[in-house]
Structure 1
Amino acid sequence: MLTILDRYILKRYLMTFLGIMLLFIPIGIMISLAEKIGRIIDNEAPLDEVIIFYGNFSLVLGNLLMPILLFLSIIFFTSKLASNTEITAILSSGVSYWRFLRPYLIGASIVAVLIFLMGMFIVPRASIGFNEFEFKYFKKGRQDRQTTNIFTQLNENDFIYVSSFEPKRQIGYNFTYEHFGENDELDYKISAANIRWVEKDSLYRLTSYKKRKIRNGVELVETKRRLDTLFSFKINDLTPVSYAADTKNLFELNDFIKDQKRKGASNVNVYILAKYKRWALPIAAFILTLIAVAVSSVKRRGGMGFNLLMGIALGLVYVFFDRIFGTMAEQSGFSPLLAVAIPNVIFGALAIYLLQKAKR
């Protein structure tokens, strides 16, 4: 049951956090709009699409900044409590420091649940429209996926390869399809100058088609100038968009990663890292809450300004560690799990140290 103290601190916790979110997100929208208004006008983006884009932008930005804004909001209102000697009065009345932390942990639990639901289910849907708009109007001409030397394993027996792929035209060049039978021996191989998806007929068109197969030690070759046929894969399975992981909810992302592992995708670590980061953000809410309380609950000569400065510095260090280890996981063989865990372990230990120091 919540006491008066719990309700008082919890109300300040949630209201300050909500206030800072409502302050920073419109600022982010204004900055983005000021930067991109020229391209919006030049590309004649419809007003309704722009409005929907900035609605999605608000969700994506809010989810990205939520842990850091939570951190700053706690420092802000806890510093005010300390400067008004309210914390001294609370602790002097016989309330232990750990009991004083309880409403903060309740608030962190509420925010962690919000972060979890946002990151796992709400933001992925918003990311679809956000990224599609970005590449349609702001990143015109840029590719949103790998387009050269694409190798994909469809299952245990089938492999496909194209030297280059044009997503807009849905055509791949220097196409190869290999099927292996028993004992991992090549059963047949299909090659073509290009493969094109013909949407109106729902089939694939191969140009300069050639099929080689071996039967009883004899090589059989079938060639055609053009062949319309069907395959079990979709043309976009050749290479997913670069932001694919951002657009999938918890269950879809698990299935997607499993599928990419089966195909032997070279960038599967990017998707695994995105998955672990979603799980790490709710944990970060607790760690940053504890650090913020420890930093700001002690009355200092510099007051709130000094506490905010220290908080911003710690926040930047946290983001730096997160980026460094994330880049290592994406571009090397470094474990995505360790890339996510190390910053949280370091700052978790820092939180415990600072709390013990603040308590004394």
Structure 2
Amino acid sequence: MKKLDLYISKNFLKSFLLSLIAFINIFILSQLFKIIRYITAGRMSISESITYILYLLPKIFIEVTPLAILLGSLMCINRMASNLEIISLKTSGISFRRIVRFPIILSFLISLVVFQVMNKVHPSALTKSRALRAGRKVAERVLPSKKNNAFLRTEDNIVYYIKEVDRVKNAATLLEIIKVDKDFKAIEEIITAKSGNFNYEKNTWVLKDAVVNNLKNKTQKIEKEYIDASLDKAPGDFITIQGDPDELTNTEITQAIRDIRTTGGDVKESLAVLGKRYSFPFASFIVSFLGLSLGSRYVRGASAISIALSVGLGYSYYIVQASFEALSVNGILNPFISGWIPNIIFLCLGVYFMRKAEY
């Protein structure tokens, strides 16, 4: 790293950290009124309120980092432009893209930090903050013991519908099992039973008062006890962990989506959260192009214009991002595409102004 890169990087990081601290303080102050109300209502003690604020910090950090990057970029380059350093460097043959190279690299590294915080720290902190606000203990997520109207489709094209399944007693009532051909076009067999127990030694269901309709052979038989080795899905396979996807890590959300799909549930909300996890952290990297390029254009009234630009552009990004997120939750757009559309729009704007800043 050359002295020029070190000088610019130090200025950028200083501006970013100052902006980050300022925005975090603003967001904490906005929460103080709620916290004071919780304390006066007896829902929290003073020590619990401090812990609650600490649990909120990962969420606040994630939300304000793009704004802090934008304002920090504007302030850093604006200061250099007002001191005629940008003009001097350009006159000496150094391009603007060369000047801002290391701040852009640092912004990308900060985006990676946001990604890790959003994936590993934020879910746990959010769970604890919600529990503290609700006045309950944080419990580990466990599988429910029972589930009504359980649905499951296996890789072998066997479709289960069970009125009630109990994973503790390994029992089920009112089962309907449909076997479909490998192309999933024709039904081969329908099995109904009043009840059933799962035998873990044989790894199969033992059905009671079963009616087996073979549609291929056009036969029907009634069995007091019926065993089919292909019916090997245990009661626990029909039950998934219930929880807010915001409180899960990326790996847990991916697993939850698989479980929900196999049990016939709606995965739109989980997909929207996962799509945002892989797109929003990189907003910090993308808005740095806007901040660095626009910072060289406004020299007089630097502080006021920098703040106005960062707030205006930052909240414009949030509005666009929230709009496309709503489309993904409603199933209109693919969550990963809708998550990256705002990034692509603002990246194009950033590259456009970056080209303009060369002259």
TM-score normalised by the shorter chain: which range applies?
Answer: 0.7 to 0.9
Change (3 A) 1:212 1:317: farther
Amino acid of the structure 1 residue aligned with 2:26: I
Separation in structure 1 between the aligned mates of residue 222 and residue 60 of structure 2, nearest angstrom: 59
Partner of 1:180: 178
Partner of 1:256: 256
Residue 283 (1) aligns with residue 282 (2): yes
Partner of 2:236: 233
Separation in structure 1 between the aligned mates of residue 87 and residue 163 of structure 2, nearest angstrom: 69
Post-superposition CA distance 1:200-230 (Å, at most 9, x none):
xxxxxxxxxx9763147356799xxxxxxxx
**Scaled by the length of structure 1, what TM-score is found?**
0.74
Post-superposition CA distance 1:283-331 (Å, at most 9, x none):
3222100111111112444433224323322222211110111001101
Separation in structure 2 between the aligned mates of residue 255 and residue 176 of structure 1, nearest angstrom: 28
Separation in structure 2 between the aligned mates of residue 162 and residue 53 of structure 1, nearest angstrom: 42
Shift of 1:247: 2.2
Partner of 2:202: none
5+ unaligned residues in a row in structure 1: which ranges? 138-148, 164-174, 192-209, 223-230
Change (3 A) 1:90 1:152: farther
Shift of 1:127: 2.1
2:39–2:46 Cα contact (<8 Å) kept: no
Shift of 1:339: 0.6
Residue 80 (1) aligns with residue 99 (2): no
1:152–1:161 Cα contact (<8 Å) kept: yes
Change (3 A) 1:258 1:317: same
How many pairs align? 310
**Scaled by the length of structure 2, what TM-score is found?**
0.74
Partner of 2:340: 341
Change (3 A) 1:221 1:265: same
Shift of 1:6: 0.9
Change (3 A) 1:162 1:17: farther
Amino acid of the structure 2 residue aligned with 1:240: Q
SS in 1 for 2:177: strand
Residue 265 (1) aligns with residue 262 (2): no
Change (3 A) 1:283 1:27: closer
Amino acid of the structure 1 residue aligned with 2:259: D
In the TM superposition, 1:94-109 aligns within 5 A as 94-109=93-108
Amino acid of the structure 2 residue aligned with 1:179: I
Partner of 2:220: 217
Partner of 2:126: 127
Separation in structure 2 between the aligned mates of residue 49 and residue 38 of structure 1, nearest angstrom: 13
Partner of 2:316: 317
SS in 2 for 1:333: coil
Amino acid of the structure 1 residue aligned with 2:192: Y
Structure with larger Rg = 2
Shift of 1:132: 2.9
Post-superposition CA distance 1:173-220 (Å, at most 9, x none):
xx96543346554423558xxxxxxxxxxxxxxxxxx97631473567
Give the root-mean-square deviation of aligned CA atoms.
3.4
Separation in structure 2 between the aligned mates of residue 15 and residue 189 of structure 1, nearest angstrom: 70
1:160–1:177 Cα contact (<8 Å) kept: yes
Separation in structure 2 between the aligned mates of residue 236 and residue 151 of structure 1, nearest angstrom: 8
SS in 1 for 2:211: strand
Separation in structure 1 between the aligned mates of residue 224 and residue 352 of structure 2, nearest angstrom: 72
2:97–2:354 Cα contact (<8 Å) kept: no
Separation in structure 2 between the aligned mates of residue 82 and residue 341 of structure 1, nearest angstrom: 32
Change (3 A) 1:38 1:303: closer
SS in 1 for 2:235: coil
Change (3 A) 1:160 1:217: closer
Partner of 2:9: 10
Change (3 A) 1:91 1:343: same
Q: Alignment identity in percent? A: 22
Separation in structure 2 between the aligned mates of residue 211 and residue 290 of structure 1, nearest angstrom: 67
